[in-house]
């Protein structure tokens, strides 16, 4: 368990913990937090090996370790019940946390999250990891950017794209591959039906790895859930469609 997780918190009200995805940072939630902080205490943190959170001595870690890091943060901040909002890998950590600590969560929001993937879909992601190791990160970055952002957004926001690439390159490459592997191999379909708290799922219409089809299956098995599909967007809806996502989350939380 990582006791040195870097976090920041703003706002007052019921606490929300935000869980970012592969190679991202706590600051990636800022535009969404700006919408929610007037009514909620918003806590974002860097996953182990990301940003300002160190990698523990145990270099080889699993989804359960990331779940335990989250519980350690909740306990450290003396929080009782929390709302959870996760993007991509964070959207897998969130429900895994709810499954292990069902009494600690009020609601769950899963953004650009994958379950019910075919073996072919999983293999495509594993192939990207193999390419990073075999031909180098620079050769794979254009594929990642194309998967994450629409062409229009990439052209209009070159500085943001460069900043995102810089985040990845600042990471230990094995840590990046490790979290990418956890994301690629995570299987939630056998237990997602155990999630009973109010759950919001949002994904982009053109998200290759977290497509609407699999999100519809997820919404079917999570009984108390609502699914929103955002037209045109790909994977990085937290940055490309942050205001839209923030408003939809606020509407969802305010109704609870």
Res 56 pLDDT > 90: no
Contacts of 256 (CB under 8 A, 6+ apart): 106, 107, 198
Q: pLDDT confidence of 1, banded at 50, 70, 90? A: low
Mean pLDDT for 207-215 is 95
Please give, one letter per residue, the 3-state secondary structure of 117-182: CCHHHHHHHHHHHHHHHHHCHHHHHHHHHHHHCCHHHHHHCHHHHHHHHHHHHHCCHHHHHHHHHH
- Read off the pLDDT band of 84 (50, 70, 90): very high
Please state, in angstroms and rounded to a whole number, the distance separating the CA atoms of residues 251 and 200: 11
Question: What average pLDDT score do residues 174-189 get?
Answer: 95
β-pairing, 14-19 with 40-45?
A: parallel
Backbone angles phi, psi at 152, to 5 degrees: -60, -45
Neighbouring-strand partners of residue 108: 84, 199
Confidence of residue 57 (pLDDT cuts 50, 70, 90): confident
Indicate if the pLDDT at residue 2 is higher than 80. Answer: no
DSSP for 6-41, written as a single string: -EEEE--SEEEEEE--TT--GGGGHHHHHHHTTTEE
Grouping H, G, I as helix, E, B as strand and the rest as coil, residue 202 is strand
Task: Write down the pLDDT at residue 3.
Answer: 63
Average pLDDT, the chain: 96
Q: How many residues does the chain have?
A: 256
Question: According to CATH, what is the number of the domain 7-254?
Answer: 3.40.50.1820
Predicted pLDDT of residue 247: 98
Residue 58 has pLDDT above 90, yes or no: no
**pLDDT exceeds 80 at position 7:** yes
Task: Please write the tens of the pLDDT for every residue from 88-103.
Answer: 999 999 999 999 999 9
Q: What percent of the chain has pLDDT over 90?
A: 96
Q: What is the pLDDT of residue 39?
A: 97
The pLDDT confidence band at residue 160, using thresholds 50, 70 and 90, is: very high
């Amino acid at each position: 368990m990582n006791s040195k997780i870097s976090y920041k918190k703003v706002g007052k009200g019921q606490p929300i913990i935000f869980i970012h995805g592969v190679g991202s940072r706590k600051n990636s939630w800022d535009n969404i937090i700006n919408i929610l902080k007037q009514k909620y205490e918003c806590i974002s943190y860097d996953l182990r090996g990301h940003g300002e959170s160190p990698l523990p001595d145990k270099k080889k870690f699993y989804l359960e370790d990331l779940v335990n890091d989250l519980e350690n943060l909740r306990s450290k901040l003396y929080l009782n019940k929390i709302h959870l909002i996760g993007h991509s890998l964070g959207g897998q950590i969130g429900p895994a946390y709810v499954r292990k600590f069902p009494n600690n969560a009020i609601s769950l929001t899963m953004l650009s999250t994958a379950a019910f993937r075919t073996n072919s879909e999983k293999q495509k992601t594993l192939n990207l990891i193999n390419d990073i190791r075999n031909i180098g990160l620079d050769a794979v970055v254009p594929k990642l950017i194309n998967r994450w952002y629409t062409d229009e957004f990439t052209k209009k926001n070159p500085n943001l794209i460069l900043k995102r690439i810089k985040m990845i390159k600042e990471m230990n490459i094995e840590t990046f591959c490790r979290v990418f592997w956890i994301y690629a191999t995570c299987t939630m379909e056998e237990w997602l039906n155990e999630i009973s708290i109010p759950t919001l799922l949002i994904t982009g219409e053109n998200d290759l790895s977290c497509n609407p089809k699999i999100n519809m299956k997820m919404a079917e098995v999570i009984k108390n859930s609502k699914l929103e599909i955002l037209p045109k967007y790909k994977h990085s809806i937290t940055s490309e469609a942050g205001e839209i996502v923030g408003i939809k989350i606020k509407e969802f939380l305010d109704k609870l």
